[in-house]
Structures are given as structure tokens and as C-alpha cells.
Amino acid sequence: MAAHQEKKLAQERKHKPTQNDTQTSQVQWGRAWEVDWFSLASILFLLLFAPLIVYYFIMSCDQYQCSLTDPLRDLLTGNKHLSDIWNRTPTLTYRAAGIYSLWVAFQVVLYVFVPDFCHKFLPGYVGGVQEGAVTPAGVVNKYEINGLQAWIITHVLWFANAYYFHFFSPTIIFDNWIPLLWCANILGYAVSTFAMIKGYFFPTNAKDCKFTGNFFYDYMMGIEFNPRIGRWFDFKLFFNGRPGIVAWTLINLSYAAKQQELYGQVTNSMILVNVLQGIYVVDFFWNEAWYLKTIDICHDHFGWYLGWGDCVWLPYLYTLQGLYLVYHPVQLGTANAVGVLMLGLIGYYIFRATNHQKDLFRRTDGNCRIWGKKPEYIECSYMSVDGTKYYSKLMTSGFWGWARHFNYTGDLLGSLAYCLACGFAHILPYFYIIYMTILLTHRCVRDEHRCSSKYGKDWTRYTATVPYRLVPGVF
């Protein structure tokens, strides 16, 4: 609905190209065409080390009670050899392969074959067929938004099994965590490799493909913008949301069940992590149509970064707090628990309200009220590769007048709350806030580079009006 209106408005205002001084730079928006040495070095580093980082964290919990330093100390002092650690690592099992295949197949069925019914009875929820943003080639894709429904069905079945059917133990995910890691890796590499081959030989939209000529960059950052199989199976929407984000809350529930099994109770820190991350996940699916307008869908091409990242990095590293709490069942004092809850809720509020303000502003083309007033904005223009000129607006009031990425600031506060729930005994649960700070700071830079290429001088006017990125007066 929102996307449809946006496209209609864009089409009403679209003009044929005019030769002006910003045209050359404006048609270059979208992902990079050329690879600099720093990007290449970062990509090679991630390709080599990201799988090892995931293994190291999960192995540390399995063999060293989540200590990140003990394995290193053992190796450096010769107390253990790499082979000792590797030999104690659970291998791929038929059981894990079966569970994982069933899991992914079930999510594919929910995604492709069950059209959304939630929007028919949930007031305010935008589901069903929706349109994405205009791609650099000027294409507007349609998506079946049914993630909330997939999440609800999956969780209803999970609870029905846990409390009624007892087909499998709710600790099943924790109990097979490392064998499942091998399955997730197989899928992550398979889908990234398939996406690369597809980009070369049978792309969904050839005009939206980008070839830098560098194999590693293209493999990592992707060639195709919106690879699809058939009309509806969109790789980006499927892999980012399901199996990764639907699994997130199930993984946390499995950790809580393991605590119950091991200690006869679930600690308040585990409940806090489940609740705060649960809110974030449900929010994601409630706003899945909005997600079509985020950088993942509007800017990133589909390669290893998204394919492997969604299958392995996200479910394994975003859930480290719950995993840690299985090994260290922290029970917080009331004041600390309330503090963590408040920080998590404030972070969530800022994150959601900021994203909502932009969504409302864009959906209504500025004809709305933000904090009781008409929004202030800067008019801007850009071009797609076919030379069509579009007009847009950048809001400069509400949270968007405080900082250019205040939604990231809210996200970071929420992320910090999950980590603080785990106490201060170990660094491992703090990986998330460290990672999110790097990710979102890097995103600021990436997004601003994109917007500057897209909007040219208009973007400079905007940054002069809203000078700070994340924290007003500081950065």
C-alpha cells in the first residue's frame, strides 16, 4: 500500500532527463563498480576469518564455558594443540542434517505457498503483495509480505510441541548446535555460490547486475541485485528473514529450555534476553513491508555477505547472550533487571519511532505531522540508469533533525541492554554491541556515500542542516 503510493507519487513527478552538472554523479548511485584496495583487503579478511570467528565463539562455549581467552592460553602454552580442540568438536550428523533440511524446507513452504492472511484481520499491519523501492535500473519489484504469519505459525507449532505433542525436546536446537553449524555453513556457501553462477548465466534482471571484475568482491558483495527463482522466491527477503530471523526467537527459547533442564529454573536475565530480542524480531516481521525500503534490499546485492551472513553469522552470533546464559545462569538483582529492561525499551522506542517517522514522511510525501508539526525537509533529485529523473525529500525535523542515523543510535542502546543482562564476568556476550557499533558506523559511511552519489549537491545541503550522524553534538 505504502510502496504503491510512493511509486505513484514518483511517477507523477518523474521527468525525462535534463543535462545538468550533477547527472554524471547521480547515475552512479548503487553499489560500487570499482574495488579499492581497502575494500578488497577487508573482503578477503572476512572471507577467511568470519567462519573461523563463528567457530571460535561457539567452540569456546562448548569446550571452555564461554571463555574467549582460555582456548588461546591453552594453545599458546602448548597445553593443547589445534587438533585436540578440533577432535573434541562435534561433527556433522544425519540427525542435524535432517532437522536443518526440514527447517529450511518448512520455511520455504511458508514463504512461497502460504499467501499472507494476517493483513486481513490485524489492524495496521501491512502484508500481502507490496512493492519495493526503485532499483538503480528503474525496476520496482513486487514482494509477498508474509513473514509475520510464518513467524506466528512456526512459534505456535513450537509451543504446541513443547507443551502438548512432545515430538521433540525444546532443547533440540541447543543439543545439536554445532552439528547444525555445519549444516548452516553448507547452505550459506551453496546459496552464495549459486547466486554468483546465476548472476553470470541467468540473472533475474541483467540491468541491475554489477560486475567489478574482481572475483572475491563479486562473490562477497554479490552480482545480482534482486535474484529470484520464479515470480516470488526472492533470495534477499527469504534468506534475511527466514530461516535466520524466525530462528532467532526459537534459538533463544531453546536456550531457556536448556536452562530449565540444567538448573530447574529460567533466570531473569534469560527472560530479559528472550523478551527484548523477541520484541525486536516481532517488530521486524510486523514491519516487513518497511524493510523493503532499507539498505539491505535497496542497496546491497546478494552475495556471500548476505547469503552466508544470514545463514550462519546472524543465527549464531546474534544469539550469543542466550548461549552464554546456559553456561552462566546470571540472576540479576531487581534494580539491575529493571535498568536493563528500561534501557532495552528506550532503545527500542528510539529505533522504532525514528524508523516510523521516516516511513510516515515518505509514505505521505511529507503531508503528515511529526511531533505535532508539519515536517521540515529538503527537496532533492536523482536519476536512474535509464536517465529518468526522480524527485525525493529528506526530512530534517523529528528524530531526523537530531542526527542523520538516530535509528542506529536506538538500535545500539537496545543491543547494549541484551549484553548488560549477562553481567560482567565474560567478554563473549559483549561481542554483539561491539559488532553492532562497527556494523552501524560502517553503515553510516556506506549509506552516506550512496546518498551523496545519488543526491549530489542536495545531500551536501542536507548534511549542512543536520550535521551529526549518531549522537547530536558528538558524532
Applying CB under 6 A, the residues found at the interface with ligand NDP are 294-295, 351, 355, 358, 362, 392, 394-395, 400, 405, 407-408, 411, 443, 447, 450-451, 454
The tally of CA atoms less than 13 A away on the side-chain side of residue 292 is: 30
Q: Which of 455, 475, 346, 345 is nearest to 403 (CA)?
A: 475
Quick one: which of 207, 189, 440 has its CA closest to 301?
207
Which residue's CB is nearer to ligand NDP, number 194 or number 402?
Answer: 402
Nearest distance in Å: CB 291, ligand NDP: 8
Q: Which is nearer to ligand NDP, 178 or 380 (CB)?
A: 380
Question: Within a 13 Å sphere around the CA of 450, how many CA atoms are in the beta-carbon half?
Answer: 17
Residue 446's CB is within 10 A of a number of other CB atoms, namely: 15
Cβ within 8 Å of residue 472, ≥6 positions away:
402, 403
Give the amino acid at 363.
R
Cell of 146: 508474509
Nearer to ligand NDP, 107 or 354 (CB): 354
Nearer to ligand NDP by Cβ, of 59 and 237: the residue is 237
CB of 455 to ligand NDP, least distance (A): 7
Distance from C-alpha of 152 to C-alpha of 206, rounded to nearest angstrom: 36
Cell readout for 257 is 529450555
CB of 313 to ligand NDP, least distance (A): 9
Smaller CB separation from ligand NDP, 426 or 454? 454
Could you tell me if 54 and 312 are in contact, meaning their C-beta atoms sit under 8 angstroms apart? yes
Least Cβ distance, residue 286 to ligand NDP (angstroms): 13
How many other β-carbons are positioned within 10 Å of the β-carbon of residue 45? 10
Within 53-167, strands assigned E span 128-134, 140-145
Q: Shortest gap between Cβ of 327 and ligand NDP (angstroms)?
A: 24
Q: Cβ closer to ligand NDP: 55 or 400?
A: 400
Least distance between ligand NDP and beta carbon 414 (Å): 9
Q: What is the DSSP letter of 370?
A: B
Tally: H helices and E strands in the chain: 24, 6
Shortest CB 26 distance to ligand NDP, Å: 12
Minimum Å gap between C-beta 259 and ligand NDP is 24
Residue whose CB is less far from ligand NDP, 166 or 369: 369
Whole-number minimum distance, CB 39 to ligand NDP, in Å?
A: 18
Nearer to ligand NDP, 183 or 394 (CB): 394
Short-list 436, 441, 438, CA closest to 415: 436
184 with 4: CB under 8 angstroms?
no
Closest residue (Cβ) to ligand NDP? 294
Among residues 314 and 332, whose Cβ is nearest to ligand NDP? 314
**Minimum Å distance from CB 114 to ligand NDP?**
26
Return the half-sphere exposure (C-beta side, CA atoms, 13 A cut-off) of residue 195.
32
Containing 393, the helix (H) or strand (E) segment is strand 389-395
Number of CB atoms found within 10 A of residue 112's CB: 16
DSSP 234: E
Backbone angles phi, psi at 219, to 5 degrees: -65, -45
Give the nearest distance from C-beta 75 to ligand NDP in angstroms: 31
**DSSP type of residue 428:** G
Name the residue nearer to ligand NDP (CB basis): 114 or 439: 439
Q: Which of 452, 314, 474, 456 lies closest to 402, judged by CA?
A: 474
CB of 367 to ligand NDP, least distance (A): 14
* Cβ pair 154, 281 in contact under 8 A: no
CA distance 151 to 107: 9
Please say which residue, 2 or 451, places its beta carbon nearer to ligand NDP. 451
- Quick one: 180 or 378, whose CB is closer to ligand NDP? 378
Closest by alpha carbon to 443, among 465, 475, 469?
469
Evaluated on CA atoms 256, 258, 264, 270, the torsion sign reads negative
